[in-house]
Structure 1
Amino acid sequence: MSSVTNSAYTETTDYDYENNYTNHSPESPVPTPESPALCTDVVCVLLATLNVIIMVLGLTGNGLVIWIAGFKIKKTVNTVWYLSLAVSDFLFCVFLPLHIVYTVKNEWVFELFMCKFASFIMILNMFSSIFLLVIISVDRCVVVMFPVWAQNKRSIRRALVIVLLAWIMSALLSLPAAIFRDLEHYDSKQVCYYNYTLNEEHVAVVVCKFIFGFVIPLLIIMFCYFMIIRKLKSNHMARSNKPFRVMTALIVAFFISWLPYHIFNLLETDLKYESVIPTGQRFGIALASTNSCMNPFLYAFMGKDFERKCYALLSKIESTFEEEARSTLRGTSITTSGDGKLSTTV
Structure 2
Amino acid sequence: MDYSDDLLDYNYSYEFNYSFHEETVCKHEPTCLNEPLCVILVVVIAAIFLLGFCGNALVIWISGFKMKKTVNTTWYMSLAVSDFVFCAFLPFTIANMAMEEWIFGRLMCKFASSVMFLNMFSSIFLLVVISIDRCVSVLFPVWAQNHRTVKKASVVVLICWLLAIAMSLPSAVFREVSTHVGRTICYNNYTSYQHGHEIVALSRFLVGFIVPFVVILVCYSIIVLKLRSNRVIKSSKPFKVMSALVAAFFLCWLPYHVSILLELNHQNYDHRILIVGLKLGFSTAAANSILNPVLYVFMGNDFKQKFKSSMLSKMENAMAEEGRTTSRYLSRTSSMDGRASTHI
Report if TM-score (shorter chain) is over 0.5.
Answer: yes
SS at match of 2:179: strand
Task: Report the residue type matching 1:238 in the other structure.
Answer: I
**CA distance change for structure 1 residues 140 and 301 in 2, over 3 Å: closer, same or farther?**
closer
2:71 aligned with 1:77, yes or no?
A: yes
Partner residue, 1:16: 15
2:197 aligned with 1:202, yes or no?
A: yes
Q: Report matched runs for 1:128-139 at 5 Å.
A: 128-139=122-133
Identical-residue share of aligned pairs (%): 45
Task: Report the residue type matching 1:15 in the other structure.
Answer: Y
Partner residue, 2:39: 45
2:256 aligned with 1:258, yes or no?
A: no
Task: Report the residue type matching 2:53 in the other structure.
Answer: L
Partner residue, 2:97: 103
SS at match of 2:189: strand
SS at match of 1:193: strand
| 1:218-251 Cα distance to aligned partner (Å, 9 max, x none) | 1111221222122112111236776775555344
**CA distance change for structure 1 residues 322 and 138 in 2, over 3 Å: closer, same or farther?**
same
2:290 aligned with 1:293, yes or no?
A: yes
- Would you say how many aligned residue pairs link Structure 1 and Structure 2? 322
Partner residue, 1:23: none
Greater Cα shift, 81-90 or 246-255: 246-255
How far apart are the structure 2 equivalents of 1:304 and 1:336?
A: 21
TM-score (norm 1): 0.85
How far apart are the structure 1 equivalents of 2:328 and 2:102?
A: 53
Q: Report matched runs for 1:1-346 at 5 Å.
A: 7-9=1-3, 12-18=11-17, 36=30, 39-197=33-191, 198=193, 200-238=195-233, 246=241, 248-270=243-265, 271-275=267-271, 276-298=273-295, 299-301=297-299, 303-305=301-303, 309=307, 312-335=310-333
TM-score (norm 2): 0.85
Deviation of 1:155 after TM superposition, in Å, equals 0.1
**CA distance change for structure 1 residues 215 and 163 in 2, over 3 Å: closer, same or farther?**
same
**CA distance change for structure 1 residues 148 and 289 in 2, over 3 Å: closer, same or farther?**
same
**CA distance change for structure 1 residues 110 and 311 in 2, over 3 Å: closer, same or farther?**
farther
Deviation of 1:212 after TM superposition, in Å, equals 0.4
| 1:18-39 Cα distance to aligned partner (Å, 9 max, x none) | 179xxxxxxxxxxxx9863663
Deviation of 1:195 after TM superposition, in Å, equals 1.1
Task: Report the residue type matching 2:251 in the other structure.
Answer: I
**CA distance change for structure 1 residues 194 and 67 in 2, over 3 Å: closer, same or farther?**
same
| 1:174-214 Cα distance to aligned partner (Å, 9 max, x none) | 11122111101022121111111146110100100000011
Partner residue, 1:30: none
Deviation of 1:94 after TM superposition, in Å, equals 1.1
Partner residue, 1:27: none
- Output the aligned Cα RMSD: 2.7
